[in-house]
Amino acid sequence: MKIIKRSGQEVAFDSEKIAAAITKANNATNGARELTPGQIREIAERIEAQAAHLERTLSVEEIQELVETEIMKEGAYETAKRYIRYRYNRTLVRQANTTDEQILTLIESNNEEVMQENSNKDPKVNAVQRDYMAGEVSKDITRRILLPADIVEAHKQGIIHFHDMDYYAQHMHNCDLVNLEDMLQNGTVISGTMIEKPHSFSTACNIATQIIAQVASNQYGGQSISLTHLAPFVDISRQKIRRDVLEEYKAISPDGAIDEAVISSIVEKRLRQEIKRGVQTIQYQVVTLMTTNGQAPFITVFMYLGEARSEQEKKDLALIIEETLLQRYEGVKNEVGVWITPAFPKLIYVLEEDNIREGTPYWYLTELAAKCTAKRLVPDYISEKIMLQDKGDVYTCMGCRSFLTPDRFTDAGIGNIANAKNYVPGKHKYYGRFNQGVCTINLVDVALSSHRDMDEFWKIFDERLELCHRALMCRHERLKGTLSDAAPILWQYGALARLPKGEPIDKLLFNGYSTISLGYAGLYECVKYMTGVSHTEPEQGTPFALEVMQHMNDMCAKWKKESNIDFSLYGTPLESTTYRFATCLQKRFGIIEGVTDKAYITNSYHIHVTEEIDAFSKLDFESKFQKLSPGGAISYVEVPNMQDNIPAVLSVMQFIYDHIMYAELNTKSDYCQVCGFDGEIQIVEDDGKLVWECPHCHNRDQDKMNVARRTCGYIGTQFWNQGRTQEIKERVLHL
């Protein structure tokens, strides 16, 4: 059994240290000792048993609170006071320097909390350590100086989660849709160098990857690009290749006769090779690039035939989509040369009338997408049909799930406030827009704090929502006054805007140009505690769950009306926060069966991972909640290996098209480097800790295995904290 020290380092649990600390407090008196050595030993043993029962790694603070409680249970109140006083004095000493110990454990790669914080960042790498070190400084400044004390305390208690505190000290925003079309068609500037319109598809892809890297280094969330913005360069390359082929043909055909069929065949063959090289550039550069925050760019690639502006452009776009799917299906080679599943780029494929049924023009792409999903977990799927119903437009999310609100500033006559060179008056705008940041409310804590009193629930709910509102306004105010010079690639050279040097970005924070997100987590547990049933139960559970969702939407609408800022309800991904919230709930309320008895809480509105339900019923049920989560949401179904059952995958995809806006299929894609096992790496328990193990050779060295799991909308590949690992282990199959 292990514990996590304040520095984040994980060490073995030692009950002797507990006994020694209690003995020291017990003996620190001139009077009679309150506890006998036998009582002290019993206290230490009870604490060890309680820690083992929780089936997760406790922090040293949690252990100390158990110590205080157990001392008082023995009636040794003076000893408890001395123990508490000692803890308080040690806290004062630590507060004199809040970051040194954390940073030192980061450098030595023994900070267990940080090592499991982000499943796509390797904390042993210098660049990642540098980013984490800067993050520790940012969090320290944010907690002590930049945020109100009550918001900091609410975050600490797990009542809310103020996201990305490690970047808050800087004037940075969350995520965005890159206006790649403007940058490619009208030029941009990277590192002080003018980049003009490319003259071939492969060059356009190369420039796109440079833009992706620059954008990733100047914000902290996900970014998305559309393959549609690359499609015009296919025909530019086609014409260039045609000119070259004609010259070659004339050189070997003295009579000047031209066989158009032969020419066209050669041109298209060479064009396919160029498309392959260009897509390969994006695939490999994204995987191998390391941005200033020590990880590959968190990039989503959008594939939507309906964005094409002509039939020729649609056909060329289809060529790019096909090559993208083929290369992702193949995968990338790991360090030992085995093809594995990469985390990025994330792919989103739009299901539409031209590709959803057998016999439609682009059905072959949908079949290829299904095969790719079955093997490599992506693409994920957006239904054109449902998105048009729910939002009125079809556009990609920013990263894994955060969606912009539908464009309203264009219809309001506000015009081209970003000075984009590809702006079309009257046409709705999405590329070039962004999200300001997120604060998440812990719905489970709201419920537990009410003690099942419904009137008290709504009162506390409103108080917590207002706390989130103030936290989000802190984010907004932090961005106000930011000069375009802070991130030229974003604000001056086209990714988000083309503002003059020295101009504040303030006008882009209002009128719906950008969004700001109210996140939420634990709807299932909230409903379970308040009603006694799952939110899938139709009589009490579902109506209450929908009422909770609607109330949050109503508050966002209220704040938007008051401020002219687009607040939007967001189904928080909860990668590391699922564990943090769970541990905070156990600390505040103890173990409550079905509510706080896990090392994780449920993401957003999702059905609990242990609840038995078929794929189609799950997607149908969650669709009504997804509609009430306009700032971002994604649903999934957990499936076994489907590579030999592609018709079943296609059936799920067709169901998505008719019933839900945004969904994905979760399968497994693992490899053991020790024995060559290609299958599902398992999760087993080892001395109270969940670890990954190859079922064939029993290898447990995480550096010698490749594991890919979708955990919160995107694929993780570097392993996860204990809460998320337990959640993955307990998932039931829906097919």
Q: Are residues 86 and 167 in the same domain?
A: no
Q: Which of 33, 64, 96 is the last residue of a domain?
A: 96
Mean pLDDT of 701-711: 87
Domain annotation covers residue 337? no
Q: What is the pLDDT of residues 265-281, one digit of tens each?
A: 999 999 999 999 999 99
To the query of whether residue 400 is one of the catalytic residues in this protein, the response is yes
To the query of whether residue 645 is one of the catalytic residues in this protein, the response is no
pLDDT higher than 90, residue 531 = yes
Question: Is 27 buried (19+), middle (13-18) or exposed (0-12) by CB count in 10 A?
Answer: exposed
Mean pLDDT of 217-231: 95
Distances (CA, A) of 571 to 163, 203, 254, 649: 13, 37, 67, 25
To the query of whether residue 439 is one of the catalytic residues in this protein, the response is no
pLDDT higher than 80, residue 131 = no
pLDDT of amino acid 137 = 81
Q: Using pLDDT thresholds of 50, 70 and 90, give the confidence band for residue 720.
A: confident
Q: Which residues contact 112 (CB under 8 A, 6 or more apart)?
A: 2, 4, 8, 9, 10, 57
Q: Which of 253, 174, 234 is nearest to 631 (CA)?
A: 174
Structure tokens at 327: 């290369």
pLDDT of amino acid 363 = 98
To the query of whether residue 416 is one of the catalytic residues in this protein, the response is no
pLDDT of amino acid 58 = 81
The C-alpha atoms of residue 616 and residue 634 are separated, in whole angstroms, by 15
Q: Are residues 65 and 4 in the same domain?
A: yes
pLDDT of amino acid 121 = 56
pLDDT of amino acid 721 = 80
Amino acid at 199: H
pLDDT of amino acid 291 = 55
pLDDT of amino acid 698 = 96
Domain count, the chain: 2
Structure tokens at 587: 């600390």
Name the DSSP class of 507. Answer: G
Q: Are 665 and 636 spatial neighbours (Cβ–Cβ below 8 Å)? A: yes
Q: Are residues 165 and 70 in the same domain?
A: no
pLDDT higher than 80, residue 484 = yes
Q: Which of 602, 632, 667 is the last residue of a domain?
A: 602
* Lowest-confidence region among 312-326, 494-508, 563-577: 563-577
Q: Are residues 40 and 160 in the same domain?
A: no
pLDDT of amino acid 59 = 81
Count how many residues are written for the chain.
735
pLDDT of amino acid 41 = 92
Q: Are residues 427 and 559 in the same domain?
A: yes
pLDDT of amino acid 127 = 67
pLDDT of amino acid 432 = 98
Name the DSSP class of 504. Answer: B
Q: Are residues 92 and 162 in the same domain?
A: no
Phi, psi for residue 506 in degrees, rounded to 5: -50, -40
Q: Which of 76, 96, 116 is the last residue of a domain?
A: 96
pLDDT of amino acid 107 = 55
Domain annotation covers residue 323? no
Name the DSSP class of 484. Answer: G
Q: Using pLDDT thresholds of 50, 70 and 90, give the confidence band for residue 84.
A: confident
Structure tokens at 641: 């290996």
Q: Are residues 154 and 92 in the same domain?
A: no
The C-alpha atoms of residue 524 and residue 504 are separated, in whole angstroms, by 42
Structure-model confidence comparison of residues 563 and 339, the more confident one: 563
Mean pLDDT of 171-200: 96
Mean pLDDT of 463-481: 98
pLDDT of amino acid 256 = 67
Q: Which of 632, 645, 607, 647 is nearest to 714 (CA)?
A: 632
> What three-state secondary structure class fits 154?
helix
* Lowest-confidence region among 66-80, 596-610, 624-638: 66-80
Structure-model confidence comparison of residues 197 and 260, the more confident one: 197
One of 435, 603, 629, 666 is an active-site residue; which one?
A: 435
Computed over every residue of the chain, the mean pLDDT equals 91
> What does R_g of the chain's alpha carbons equal in angstroms?
27
Q: Using pLDDT thresholds of 50, 70 and 90, give the confidence band for residue 709.
A: confident
Which residues span the domain enclosing 525?
147-174+403-478+494-602
Q: Are residues 534 and 408 in the same domain?
A: yes
Please state whether the peptide bond connecting residue 345 to the residue before it is cis, i.e. omega within 30 degrees of 0.
Answer: yes
Structure-model confidence comparison of residues 707 and 273, the more confident one: 273
pLDDT higher than 60, residue 119 = no
Q: Are residues 419 and 551 in the same domain?
A: yes
Q: Using pLDDT thresholds of 50, 70 and 90, give the confidence band for residue 395.
A: very high
Domain annotation covers residue 62? yes
Name the pairing type of β-strands 193-195 and 188-190.
Answer: antiparallel
Q: Are 294 and 127 spatial neighbours (Cβ–Cβ below 8 Å)? A: yes
CA atoms within 13 A on the CB side of 287: 19
Q: Are residues 154 and 61 in the same domain?
A: no
**DSSP codes of every residue in 532-557:** SS-TT-TTTHHHHHHHHHHHHHHHHH
Q: What is the pLDDT of residues 573-614, one digit of tens each?
A: 887 889 999 999 999 999 999 999 999 999 999 999 999 999
pLDDT of amino acid 120 = 52
> What three-state secondary structure class fits 479?
helix
Domain annotation covers residue 421? yes
Q: What is the pLDDT of residues 294-328, one digit of tens each?
A: 567 889 999 999 999 999 999 999 999 999 999 99
pLDDT of amino acid 697 = 96
One of 174, 635, 666, 721 is an active-site residue; which one?
A: 174
pLDDT of amino acid 6 = 62
Structure-model confidence comparison of residues 167 and 553, the more confident one: 553
Where helices occur in 348-421 by DSSP H, the ranges are: 363-376, 384-391
pLDDT of amino acid 161 = 97
Distances (CA, A) of 609 to 373, 618, 643, 729, 732: 21, 11, 23, 9, 6
Amino acid at 185: Q
One of 183, 400, 526, 653 is an active-site residue; which one?
A: 400
One of 119, 226, 402, 699 is an active-site residue; which one?
A: 402
Mean pLDDT of 714-735: 84
Mean pLDDT of 183-197: 96
**CATH number, residue 159:** 3.20.70.20
Domain annotation covers residue 203? no
Q: What share of the chain is helix, strand, coil (3-state, %, to 5)?
A: 50, 15, 35
pLDDT higher than 60, residue 116 = no
Share of the chain above pLDDT 90, in %: 69
One of 172, 183, 398, 556 is an active-site residue; which one?
A: 398
To the query of whether residue 174 is one of the catalytic residues in this protein, the response is yes
The C-alpha atoms of residue 29 and residue 10 are separated, in whole angstroms, by 33
pLDDT higher than 70, residue 718 = no
Determine if residue 452 is left, alpha or beta; phi over 0 gives left, psi from -120 to 50 gives alpha, anything else beta: left
pLDDT higher than 70, residue 424 = yes
One of 494, 512, 541, 713 is an active-site residue; which one?
A: 713
pLDDT higher than 70, residue 94 = no
Domain annotation covers residue 152? yes
Q: Which of 606, 651, 602 is nearest to 626 (CA)?
A: 606
Identify which of 10-14, 570-574, 661-665 has the greatest average pLDDT.
661-665
636 - beta bridge partners? 664
Domain annotation covers residue 593? yes
Phi, psi for residue 514 in degrees, rounded to 5: -120, 165
To the query of whether residue 529 is one of the catalytic residues in this protein, the response is no
Amino acid at 718: Q
Q: Are residues 52 and 153 in the same domain?
A: no
The C-alpha atoms of residue 373 and residue 393 are separated, in whole angstroms, by 25
Q: Are residues 165 and 54 in the same domain?
A: no
**H or E element that contains 33:** none
Domain annotation covers residue 416? yes
One of 62, 575, 664, 693 is an active-site residue; which one?
A: 575
pLDDT higher than 60, residue 117 = no
pLDDT higher than 70, residue 104 = no
Name the DSSP class of 607. Answer: P
To the query of whether residue 398 is one of the catalytic residues in this protein, the response is yes
pLDDT of amino acid 155 = 97
